Structure formats: C-alpha cells, structure tokens
Homo-oligomer: A and B are copies of this chain.
Amino acid sequence: MTKDRALEILNSNQSALRALNHATAILFVDGETVAPVGSAPYRAKTLGELSRMQYELTTDKDAVAALEYLYEIRDTLEPVQKRHISELYRTLDMTRKIPMEESVAFDVLISEASAVWHEAKVNDDFEMFEPYLEKVFAGMIKHAEYFDKEKDPYDVTLDLFERGLTKSKCDSYFTELKNRISPLIKKITSAPQIDDTHIVGLFSIPEQDKISRFCMDLLKIDPKFCTLGETEHPFTANINKYDVRITTHYYENNFLSSLYSVIHEGGHALYELNVADSLVDTCLGSGASMAIHESQSRFYENYIGRSRPFTDLLLGYLKTEFPGRLGDISENDFYRIINKAGPSLIRTEADELTYSMHVMIRYELERMIFDGKITVHDLPKEWNRLYGEYLGVNVPSNKMGVLQDSHWSGGNIGYFPSYSIGSAYGAQYLELMKKEFDPYAAVSAGDLTPINKWLEEKIWRHGCMYDPGDLFASVCGEFNPAVYADYLENKFSTLYNL
C-alpha cells in the first residue's frame, strides 16, 4: 500500500460515511421538528438501514487496512491529517475491543431501555425500568473493562464522554463546589423570595419568536447558516459548520424559558459555526467535547445572558419593541427575576446557582453504583435522600426524581459531570477576557464581537484538533473550581443581599 492509495481509499470511505451521517442528522432534525408524527415508524426503519450501511463502511476491510497503514505512518502526515487519522484509529480500536455480538446486543438493549424509560416516566413506574437500567449499568461496566482492564471502570467511563476526566478530578471539583455553594443555597432559601409573578404570560408565541430573533441577532449567529425550529426539548443539531439547527420550546406563560434556551443553544451553534473551514471534511469538524461545548452554551446563557448589562439591554429592547407591556419594572427587578434561584426538583429547569448540585447528585449515584456501594434497585431511595441532603427538597415521585432524565436509558452514564464542569470553565474564560478587554462593556454596547472573537480564536476554530483537557489548559492553564465558586458566591450574595 502506498500513502496516496491509502488516503484515496480512506477518503472515499469517509466521504460516504459523512454523507450518511449528514442524512441521518437531517432525518433526526426533520423528525423532531416538522415531520408528520405518523412518519416515525418508517423513518425508524430507514435510520436502521442507514446505520447498517454506516457499520458496513466503518468495518470495510480495505478502509480498515488503509487506516491501519496511515496510522503506522502518521508522523509523516501534516497536523490536521495526522489528528484525523489518529482519531479515526482510536475509534476503530475501541470498537474492536468489544466483541461484535456484545456490541449489537447492547445497541438493542439501549433501544429497548429508551422505550421502556419513556413509558416508565409517564407511568411513574421505576420498577418496570429497573431491570433494563440494571443491564445498562452492567453493560457500561463491562465495556469499561474491555477498554482498559487496568483502570478503574468509572474512570474509563468518564473518559468516554470527556477525555481525561477522572473520579479524582470530579471529586475535588464537586467537593469544592459543595462546600461553597451548599451554605449559599441554604441562606437563599431563607432569604426574602423574588416575586416574578408580573412577568407571567406577557408575550404571545409569535412575540416570543421575535424575541428569539433579537437574541440570535445579538449573538451574531449568521442566519445564512443557522435556523431556529420548535421542539418539545430545545437542542442544537450540528450537521456541519454550514448547517446548524437550533430549537426552542415556547411557553405561553414564561417567555424567559425560550429566551434563555435560544441563548444557550445559540452558544452551541456559535461554536459549530466557527470551526475552521479546513476541518470540515475530516472527523475534526465539530466541537471538541461535551464539557467544552457546555462551556460555550452556558457561557452565553449565564455569564453573558444573565449578567446585569445583558438584562438591562434586554429590558431596553423589550420596552422599545413592546411599549407599556412591562409596566414600570426596574432594571434591578428585571435582573433579579431573571436570576431567581432556589432548590428545585428538575435539573433542566434549575437556576444557575443550584444547577451543579443536580449534576453532583447524579455523579455521586453513578459512582456509588460503579463502586458497588449501592445497586440500581437502591437508586430511587438514594436519589431522594441526596435531594433532601443537598437541596433540601422532598421528591414527591420518581417521575419528578430518578426517572426525569433520559441519559441513563440511552447508555449515557458518566455524561452528567460535563454539564457542570463546562459551566465552571466559563468562570475562567471570563477572568481571562477581563484581562484583555471589558466583556461587559461589549454587552452594554450591544456588540458581542470582542467576546465572539476571543472564543473563536481560543476555542471554536480548533474543532477537535486537541483533546478537551489540553484545549482548556492551552487557554486557561490549570482548571480551578474556586474561580467558579467565587463567581457564584459573589453574584448570588449580592443578588440576595446576603
């Protein structure tokens, strides 16, 4: 095999795979947004067929041989190609570590577990989900052993979702956070509560849609390459850097929910839209990891979107666009309503301060199961105990408790910590930005260009060229959770006059 021939074989194989991935992504987005509901079963059939083709292409003998050859000679390749080949090889290598039959059986299990979870949640019936969840945890533990027998299985599992993340890193992160945030949450719970009743039902859905466009415009999301749709749960679909779809969900009663969904998904979108052109035709053409992605979305949502300069700007816009609608609400009241915090039951509805506690609970539960300290059967009881302990709330049902998230049913165990770590990363970005320019002056001026430029330069353009830990370190040096805890403490102590 020659290098040119190997590249030719691999490129043609990858090009076909990219086309199938593209089609699969559009079928998914279309199904979630505008497709008629009755089209789902046939679409599932088609997706199954496309997935079979993807599998055939991934395991194609010639392509695998070409990849192996190119991996051998990777040091002779230019950097992007070298990284591309190394990443493809890494995936291949991991795929081969799990025996074929087990891999197929696990895919079937996941598909069944997801369906059962849906039903279990609707019926508030953990018992029907339990045997499936047991098998999912068992499967993930077994996979971890296949991947690396020498390492702790939960460390291997964390690494699947966020390369380089370990129990020990999570432990020190969550411990710092718990020690600093828990007392703050307790104080807020007993402080005078913020009244947000006068913003209920203020804007119709077409008006909320207009507000969404304002936010997308403010973030400088180019509508040429990114559109907004409506779905039950907001998400970002990154087809490629020229085609990103974000979605939101409008609630008649609460315009802030959709508004901050748009800003959050907008952050994800900006990242994808600004990956370097040179990476598009490789496997490196999207965000580096889930934590780095969340560090973008939650940066725009919270550090920018829930900052006082932003809420002032937003209030100004709303008062101009919808005269009289907001009455005589003050900038300070508006800022406080938007940042209203307090213990709650549902992670996806949690405020900026308490969000990480929800994540921590899930992390601790996963860790205990991997460590054999509890079983899946104990999850509801342990879940409720931790919600009582960390957030001081009584969980009234499993539907509002352990059954609320889809992640575990989909095999996404070890995934949760990234949500919180991504949030924490943002505090360090903010500190660094402040050394170079005044990000909040940019927000006040309604021109986020310097913020976008900074993130594009440091993070976005690199796509998957670097491991997420290395990427973060190259920008911020060492990860320091105290910066995040300081930020939360300052913000919420001031907000609640503690």
| A-to-B contact residues, CB < 8 Å | 15-16, 18-20, 22-24, 26-27, 29-30, 33-39, 41-43, 45-46, 49-50, 52-53, 206, 222-227, 229, 239-240, 242-245, 280
A227 touching B23 by the CB < 8 A rule?
no
Interchain nearest-CB distance for A353 vs B (Å)? 35
B36 touching A226 by the CB < 8 A rule?
yes
Interchain nearest-CB distance for A224 vs B (Å)? 4
A49 touching B222 by the CB < 8 A rule?
no
B34 touching A46 by the CB < 8 A rule?
no
Copy total for this chain? 2
A23 touching B16 by the CB < 8 A rule?
no
Complex: A19 Cα to B34 Cα, angstroms: 19
17 residue pairs from A and B, CB less than 8 Å apart: A16-B52, A16-B53, A19-B45, A19-B50, A19-B53, A23-B23, A23-B26, A23-B46, A34-B245, A36-B244, A36-B245, A38-B224, A38-B225, A38-B242, A39-B240, A41-B242, A42-B280
Task: Take A16-B53, A22-B46, A34-B229 as given contacts and tell me if A239 and B27 are in contact as well, using a CB distance cutoff of 8 Å.
Answer: no
A38 touching B227 by the CB < 8 A rule?
no
Task: Take A30-B30, A43-B243 as given contacts and tell me if A50 and B23 are in contact as well, using a CB distance cutoff of 8 Å.
Answer: yes
Interfacial chain B residues near A30, Cβ < 8 Å: 26, 29-30
B27 touching A23 by the CB < 8 A rule?
yes
Q: Which 3 A/B pairs are nearest by Cβ-Cβ distance? A: A39-B243, A19-B49, A23-B23
Interfacial chain B residues near A206, Cβ < 8 Å: 206
Complex: A22 Cα to B38 Cα, angstroms: 15
Contact partner of A34 (CB less than 8 A), chosen from B34, B39, B240, is: B34
Complex: A42 Cα to B39 Cα, angstroms: 26
Complex: A26 Cα to B43 Cα, angstroms: 10
Complex: A315 Cα to B72 Cα, angstroms: 75
A35 touching B224 by the CB < 8 A rule?
no
Interfacial chain B residues near A46, Cβ < 8 Å: 18-19, 22-23
A243 touching B19 by the CB < 8 A rule?
no
Interchain nearest-CB distance for A173 vs B (Å)? 37
Interchain nearest-CB distance for A130 vs B (Å)? 33
Most buried by B among A23, A226, A242: A23
Interchain nearest-CB distance for A349 vs B (Å)? 28
B242 touching A49 by the CB < 8 A rule?
no
Complex: A58 Cα to B398 Cα, angstroms: 51
Complex: A20 Cα to B49 Cα, angstroms: 9
Contact partner of A38 (CB less than 8 A), chosen from B29, B222, B229, is: B222
Task: Take A38-B224, A227-B34 as given contacts and tell me if A15 and B243 are in contact as well, using a CB distance cutoff of 8 Å.
Answer: no
Interfacial chain B residues near A16, Cβ < 8 Å: 49, 52-53
Most buried by B among A24, A37, A43, A46: A46
Interfacial chain B residues near A229, Cβ < 8 Å: 34
Interfacial chain B residues near A38, Cβ < 8 Å: 222, 224-225, 242-243
Interchain nearest-CB distance for A359 vs B (Å)? 32
Specify the chain B residue showing the minimal Cβ separation from A41: B242
Complex: A38 Cα to B241 Cα, angstroms: 10
Interfacial chain B residues near A226, Cβ < 8 Å: 36
Interchain nearest-CB distance for A15 vs B (Å)? 6
Complex: A45 Cα to B24 Cα, angstroms: 15
Interfacial chain B residues near A244, Cβ < 8 Å: 36
Interfacial chain B residues near A19, Cβ < 8 Å: 45-46, 49-50, 53
Interchain nearest-CB distance for A422 vs B (Å)? 26
A39 touching B222 by the CB < 8 A rule?
no
Interfacial chain B residues near A24, Cβ < 8 Å: 23
Task: Take A15-B49, A23-B46, A27-B23 as given contacts and tell me if A33 and B35 are in contact as well, using a CB distance cutoff of 8 Å.
Answer: no
Contact partner of A39 (CB less than 8 A), chosen from B23, B41, B45, B225, is: B225
Interfacial chain B residues near A240, Cβ < 8 Å: 39, 42
Interfacial chain B residues near A26, Cβ < 8 Å: 23, 26-27, 30
Specify the chain B residue showing the minimal Cβ separation from A16: B49
Complex: A33 Cα to B26 Cα, angstroms: 13
